[in-house]
Structure 1
Amino acid sequence: SVLNHVMLHQTIIGQEAIQQFELAGDDPDVLIACAGGGSNFAGLAFPFLGLQLRGGRKRRVIAVEPAACPSLTRGKFAYDFGDTAHLTPLVKMHTLGSTFIPPGFHAGGLRYHGMGPLVSHLYDLGLIEARAYHQIPCFEAGVQFARAEGIVPAPESTHAVRCAIDEALRCKAEGKSETIVFNLSGHGHFDMGAYISYFAGNLVDQNYDEGELAMALAGLPSVAAQ
């Protein structure tokens, strides 16, 4: 999902969303998606950002990542390998270092050390925001969503749900009416064990290890200035 052509392939999601909003006579003010490598986020956000870059109105676009693997909010924008075996070409991306191993939190699809080059570039330009959440408040949001909508979201998707709820509460507190859209990227039918752990009180919120992060970043490949 970190590859640029994969992210662009997913943009059918955002293209369809634009047409759906046109049919509904509405237009989103805030776009939200979870972000691991970037394809799910890019799939929704890129077409809307394309409208903006071609002269359309500005929207807030938020990439939501886990606090245990925060490549956008805490990573370094640098050239790095896309894999731990160092077989891929070097790409410039927000990275925690290709040797960084995050703790075993339940959103497996978000346990990646870097972010796709195109998403990283947009973040570096200030065109998108990034937010990091711990997994327990995300599961809380996932359960709230399941009880309201009858859909059990995947642990990855609960990050977007958490952010969407927080943005709705912000609007309520500010007395604003905004249209918020988030990408429900997957169902949690194969993640019942994680929900069982949540209800049993066995989930633990973990931050990335500062020492391991420093070591991983210190080991970034040396690239001559262009």
Structure 2
Amino acid sequence: MRKYVHLQEVPKSWYNVLADLPFKLDPPLDPETNKPMTPEKLLKTFPQPLLEQEVSDKRFIEIPEEVLNEYYVFRPTPLIRATFLERYLETPAKIYYKYEGVSPTGSHKTNTALAQAYYNKISGTKTLYTETGAGQWGSALSYAGLKFGLKVKVFMVRVSYMQKPARKQLMNLFNGEVVPSPSNLTASGKKYGEDHPGTLGIAISEAMEKVLEQKNSKYALGSVLNHVLLHQTIIGLEIKKQLEKLGLIPNVLIGCHGGGSNFGGTILPFIPEKLSGKNIKFLACEPKSCPTLTKGEYKYDFGDSVGFTPLLKMFTLGKDFVPPKIHAGGLRYHGAAPIVSALLKNKLIEAEAFDQNETFQAAKFFAKVEGIIPAPESAHAIAGAIKEALKAKEEKIEKTIVFTLSGHGLFDLAAYV
């Protein structure tokens, strides 16, 4: 049964968890001085409004009318009860999924892409450079750039560029320019060579290099940073309203995890309830082939492979880590969002890693019973939800499980062969 919030109930503000955390995040460090990064240096990379959001302690930040008007094209996204999945699993649990695949480019990435494009536009930016793994972020930013009159240039991880040609075509449709990374267009790319499968870290380095050498250009990141997770909280805020309309309180909230934007956007609006003593489990589901949260070390590290970015305090596998060529290209990142990392360090969230076979079995099963083909990234959240539902069955406990289906897999069909 599909449940929508009314259009007027789409949140008018994003939620900023930094206002409520019982601890402070460690600041980004300047790699040249090993001291907190100055705003002046960061202004070369990001526009002023996004830097202000990055460090803001305001609990709610108003969504500009221009961004809201674009959100209304696809928001609110539906919260759907997976009744067929419940029936096949014979679980007493209620399972709901928040379906972000209805966005213009098929994933949750559009939420922050539109916001970042808007703030860059009003700040005088002409060109946005970025990276993309599986292509969801690159296509979302290309769409947002078209909407707000910005050029968008994308470095796409080479293995995904080869695996997912439709993503490249989608970026081109929205006037985005995309090249495989490593490329021969930058010194960073040439360092690795065109036979390298690529990583998000390398693609970030290429995009950053271009920004640092060109005027009127900025860098846009699809995950990890505080302002990106801020924009994605519209997911969790809508979930809260939708559950309230149903008279439900979630027991388990689940999201797939790569850099942290989808997972963070899902669970952050519920953090105050967790801090007040409510028993809510937050589960981040990641691939065993790139186990940042479950196997990574909590320390300062670069967000890219070459060392252009500030040093961030996060769980990391190391900037030189090269993950296997899994189809969930959006989860092939060596680090994790500082906010998500700090929540894990303080034991407010949990993380679990799933292997590719288990993940795709869950995805295929979900597609057959619920009728939606999930993105390989989202499939990790499905695997986590199924595991929690079977646990409820074994324990004979009724509970409400909610996960975010962060995107559809219609451009990823080759992965299901």
Alignment of 1:136-147 (within 5 A): 136-147=357-368
Q: Does residue 1:129 correspond to 2:331, yes or no?
A: no
For the residue of structure 2 that corresponds to 1:20, the secondary structure is: helix
- Verify: 1:100 aligned to 2:321, yes or no: yes
Runs of 4+ deviating beyond 2 Å:
50-53
- Give aligned-pair identity as a percent: 56
Structure 1: how far apart are the matches of 2:267 and 2:279?
12
Give the secondary-structure state (helix, strand or coil) at the position aligned to 1:10.
helix
| Aligned residue number for residue 32 of structure 1 | 254
Q: Tell me by how many angstroms 1:52 deviates.
A: 2.3
Matches within 5 A, 1:59-208: 59-196=280-417
Deviation at 1:85, TM superposition (A): 1.7
> TM-score, structure 2 length as denominator?
0.46
Bigger strand share: 2
2:128 aligns to what? none
User: Aligned residue for 1:200?
Assistant: none
The one of the two structures with greater contact order (alpha-carbon pairs below 8 A, sep at least 6) is 1
Letter in 1 for 2:265: G
Give how far 1:109 is off: 0.3
How far off its partner does 1:156 sit?
A: 0.3
> Which has the larger Rg?
2
What displacement does 1:171 show?
Answer: 0.3
Report the residue type matching 1:19 in the other structure. Answer: K
Q: Which amino acid aligns with 1:44?
A: T
- Give the superposition deviation at 1:121: 0.1
Q: In 2, Cα distance between the equivalents of 1:180 and 1:169? A: 11
Instruction: Report the alpha carbon displacement of residue 50 of structure 1 after superposing the two structures with TM.
Output: 2.6
1:130: how far off?
0.3
CA RMSD of superposed structures (Å): 0.7
Q: Can you list the C-alpha shifts for 1:92-111, whole angstroms capped at 9, x where unaligned?
A: 00000001010111100000
Q: Secondary structure at the match of 1:49?
A: helix
Any unmatched runs of 5+ in structure 2? 1-222
1:23 to 224, 229, 245: 245
Q: Write the distance in 1 (CA, Å) between the matches of 2:414 and 2:226.
A: 33
CA distance in 2 between counterparts of 1:82 and 1:50 reads 28
Measured after TM superposition, the shift of residue 8 of structure 1 is: 1.2
Q: How far apart are the structure 2 equivalents of 1:80 and 1:120? A: 12
TM superposition shift of 1:56: 5.2
Displacement of 1:4? 1.2
Q: Which runs of 5+ in 1 are unaligned?
A: 197-226
Question: Equivalent residue for 1:48?
Answer: 270
1:2 aligned onto 2:224: yes
C-alpha separation in 1, matches of 2:277 and 2:233: 18
How many angstroms apart in 1 are the aligned matches of 2:285 and 2:254?
7
